[in-house]
Homo-oligomer: A and B are copies of this chain.
Amino acid sequence: MRAQKLFPLILVLLLMMTPLSSARTDASHGANEGRTGQLSAGKATELPAHSSRHHTDHHTGRLTLMPLPNGPVVPGEGRFRIDEHFTLAVEGAPDARIYPESTRMLRRLAGRTGLFLPQGFIREDTEVDSPSMLVRVNRPGRLELHEDESYRLHVTSERILLEADTDLGALHGFETLLQLLDADAEGYFVPTIEIHDEPRFTWRGLMIDAARHFMPVDVIKRNLDGMAAVKLNVFHWHLTEDQGFRVESTTYPLLHEKGSDGEYYTQEEIRDIIRYADQRGIRVVPEFDIPGHATSWLVGHPELASLPGPYEIERGFGIFDPTLDPTSEEVYGFLDVFLGEMAALFPDDFMHIGGDEVTGRHWDENPDIQQFMRDNNIPDNQALQAYFNSRVMEILKGHGKIMVGWEEILHPDLPQNIVIQSWYGRQSMIDAARQGYQSILSHGYYIDLIQPTDLHYVNNPLPPDTPLSPDEQKLILGGEAPMWSEYVSWETVDSRIWPRTAAIAEVFWSVDVPAINLPSGREWFIPEDLLTQEIIIQLDEMYRRLQVIRIQLEEHGLTHDRNYPVMLRRLAGGEDISAVKTFVNVVEPVKIYNRPRQRTHTSYSPLTRTVDAARPDAMVARQFRRLVDDYLAGGATDRQMAAEIREQLLVWRDNHGELVQVIRRSPILSEIETLSEDLARLSATGVEALDNIREAQRPHPDWQQEAMSVVEAAREPRGQVEIMIVPAVEKLVRAAGS
């Protein structure tokens, strides 16, 4: 855990490099323009910067790396110029993946700079005289736990040296180098610097549920590119669910033939994706969720079920009763063959068997299963599942695999050579470690729940005050962000993964933000009383970098920003999206599990509505909330801030009339009409509050009550979206009344 020793050094370097500067927000997002921070020097008060992708901020000299290095960073004074003579050579004994990845690095460098670089394809036999960049690797990297992924990047004004024990480290160095790429009026350069870097955790994952909504191969590949860009190294592929069985099986073809509506990965596609991931230094851990979440298995194989069939592919979402029969030897025989087939297909040491959310109802209803439990002294369904898991574990062991499962598999009957994925609460991670199990943390990283980035970012698996002993801490392998797919399609899934997962990747790689113990982990905002000034500074800096990285991530074809105007054009019924965009910019989908509570979806319901176009962590709303906070924290005296707040509120107040015209032509928007009206009222109320504050007038006693009723009305979601500036206007109203 070198991180905890080194991080303060990095932080100090960063803060030394961070004089107070002005920041500009993107004009197209609203009215927040060119504001100068008002708090005392040394505090980073600016809004997240939108206006530059460049890797040092030209006013402050800050590096824009994400994840931040987990080791010493020594910046120099010089610049290594990147021009059309740039060449690269690889030395040493790397795995062959380094060659296509070197080539890909050159192509990305050329793409960003427009330079016609001289080298086409880097191969093992490529020879270069005096290369601009030398990559030196000791040995081939193995895609396994605790492999060395460290690298040392040494940039002088003369050349770039990237050294690593394994090619896996070198790949991380490539990403750091591309993030360091910068420019001035003379051209492109990399600042002289020395970076020693290595990951904090060995398991840094993204899970994609390709089962509830199928995710085509290109979706997976572009997300693997994005993962590599932020140094994630485990792709956890959730492949089977009640709603679909997404793997071709040659041993039991009825699985995919009857269980997938024709939407599954062929084995050739799977091998292709594994190869693609391997080349990027990413392990692929498949998940076959059993014994619950398994309806789709039973469509072709009802004989495996706890109750007689027939079964159909589930079209709804939730927790369902169909379950494999844990008392049937036929089931274990089947699993032995099927998982053996999968074990040969997926080379990773680990295999995930799900194990979550088993209702046990079909066990209760089957007298034979009840008899089996009595006969074998199995006291309850938990113990029955543990029996099932121990049998499955033996099967996996026979095929050379280590079992991973969701926290429900944690049971005293299971040996310690399994890995527990903690999801429902962080306590399961702590319990697992204390009982000697290795674990990975997913609780707090559920990106499908549409929480803001900072909530995930303060979720430190091992904060300084962790109750775990140093030996227990070693059992925490890392973490994973799960992307469940009830409410996403190929068109929207990237916007739920990125850019937030880049910040989560930083937690896994390096960051040691003092953790915040959230009351439930299911908050929508970090409660303000838990935010210290130090954390605020770190969060602002994280958001600043995130807004740069999000644009870089687009080069992989990721659609988190790319599809936004496309979806707005469809909603608006034409090319002029201004009114719709003004509205959708300040709303977010409802969070946690509120979407299905407000409207029942099936797997074929449309995912093209306002709620789908709206994105997590709406930046325009965040900036506005930040602006109001700063304004009020400064005693509401800053005229420029007040003017900006007013201007923005007027835009929202006046948007409704224009939006109504669009809604008349585009009934798909009807569901948000009253919400748009409430946004207008809320903004008008905000203006009144602001004017009262500015003129230091005490409003009429009735005013505040009426104003608060406007605020309350605006809080109510419609169309499963909610207005994200409600808290800021509420603060203005309260301030006006005090």
Contacts and interface: CB of A to CB of B under 8 A. Distances in A.
Contact of A606 (B116, B266, B490, B561): B116
A424 to B, nearest CB: 30
Interface string A588-630: 0000000000000111111111000000000000000000000
A183 B574 CA distance: 13
Given A188-B667, A268-B266, A608-B111, A551 B569 contact: yes
Interface stretch (A2-10, A48-56, A352-360, A362-370): A48-56
A183 B573 contact: yes
B563 A562 contact: yes
Nearest to A607: B111
Interface string A332-348: 00000000000000000
B115 A606 contact: yes
A112 B554 contact: no
A524 interface: no
A50 B561 contact: no
A576 B28 CA distance: 7
Contact of A574 (B50, B110, B187): B50
A196 interface: no
B563 A575 contact: no
A185 interface: yes
A665 B58 contact: yes
B51 A574 contact: yes
Contacts of A165: none
Contacts of A603: 120
B668 A114 contact: yes
Interface in A626-676: 664-668, 671
Kindly state the interface size class of chain A when it binds its partner: 35 or more
A153 B50 CA distance: 50
Contacts of A72: none
A144 interface: no
Contacts of A607: 111
Interface string A112-135: 111111001100000000000000
Interface in A211-236: 216-218
A490 B578 contact: no
Given A216-B218, A604-B107, A606-B110, A554 B570 contact: yes
A253 to B, nearest CB: 15
B665 A52 contact: yes
A292 to B, nearest CB: 23
Contacts of A114: 606, 608-609, 667-668, 671
B120 A604 contact: yes
A555 interface: yes
Contacts of A254: none
Interface string A536-575: 0000000000011001001101010111011001100111
A548 B665 CA distance: 14
A608 B110 CA distance: 8
A453 to B, nearest CB: 17
A491 interface: yes
A394 interface: no
Nearest to A550: B575
> Most chain-B CB neighbours within 10 Å: which of A51, A53, A216, A575?
A575
Contacts of A187: 667
B604 A575 contact: no
> Most chain-B CB neighbours within 10 Å: which of A27, A218, A607?
A218
A91 interface: no
B569 A183 contact: no
A315 interface: yes
A261 interface: yes
A346 to B, nearest CB: 19
Contacts of A561: 565-566, 569
A666 B551 contact: no
A26 interface: yes
Given A54-B665, A111-B606, A575 B562 contact: no
Interface in A1-52: 24, 26-28, 50-52
Contacts of A578: 27-28
Contacts of A100: 262
Given A110-B606, A218-B217, A561-B566, A574 B53 contact: yes
Contacts of A606: 107, 110-111, 113-116
A249 to B, nearest CB: 16
Contact of A261 (B121, B188, B547, B566): B121
A628 B403 CA distance: 72
Nearest to A189: B667
A500 B550 CA distance: 31
Contacts of A27: 576, 578
Given A28-B575, A112-B668, 19 more contacts: A28-B576, A50-B575, A53-B570, A53-B573, A54-B573, A110-B606, A113-B606, A114-B608, A116-B606, A121-B261, A183-B665, A184-B665, A185-B667, A187-B667, A218-B218, A268-B268, A547-B575, A551-B570, A561-B569
Q: 3 closest pairs, A vs B, by CB? A: A114-B668, A218-B218, A110-B606
10 contacts: A26-B575, A107-B604, A111-B608, A114-B667, A115-B606, A117-B604, A120-B315, A120-B603, A266-B268, A562-B563
Interface of A: 24, 26-28, 50-54, 58, 100, 107, 110-117, 120-121, 183-188, 216-218, 261-262, 266, 268, 315, 490-491, 547-548, 551, 554-555, 557, 559, 561-563, 565-566, 569-570, 573-576, 578, 601-609, 664-668, 671
